Amino acid sequence: MKNTIQLNVQSTYLPEQSAQECHRFLWTYEITITNESNNIVQLLNRYWRITDMTGHVEEIRGPGVIGLQPLIKPQKKFTYNSFCQLPTPQGTMEGEYEMQTLEEKRFIIAIPKFILSAPTHISDVFRSRLH
């Protein structure tokens, strides 16, 4: 099943909701999960490993995404948007989804690491303040 579920991730920095002086940097991200199998699958749980540019790691586990445990039909997509807040202008997110088929066969789909990055000039100013 693993090879028949595809993920696409896009992140966008939100300057209007970020406050550099308060060490608050926000991004929105959109994830599209495509079920290329012939089976209906359900997203049960999520796990995120979020790392900021100082190396601090936060782990988040929970049921579903955005309050849903969606069923994804064969050859269909499920897209959702969420956000991430960091105290630094750069970081990464990676993780996994626990999925299952209607026959209750569970499997894990890895969410590849993706970068959260504010514009370079913001990152450079922040980095100089760290030293």
- What CATH number has the domain bearing residue 72? 2.60.40.1470
Name the one residue in this structure whose structure tokens are 């209750």.
104
Range of the domain at 82: 2-130
Cβ 112 vs Cβ 94: under 8 Å:
yes
Average pLDDT, the chain: 92
pLDDT at position 1 is: 60
pLDDT at position 2 is: 61
pLDDT at position 20 is: 87
pLDDT at position 119 is: 85
- For the stretch 10-21, pLDDT in tens is 999 999 999 988
Whole-angstrom distance, CA of residue 22 vs CA of residue 85: 12
> For the chain, how many structural domains are there in total?
1
Low-confidence ranges of the chain (pLDDT < 70): 1-2, 120-131
The letter for the amino acid at 111 is I
pTM for the structure as a whole:
0.86
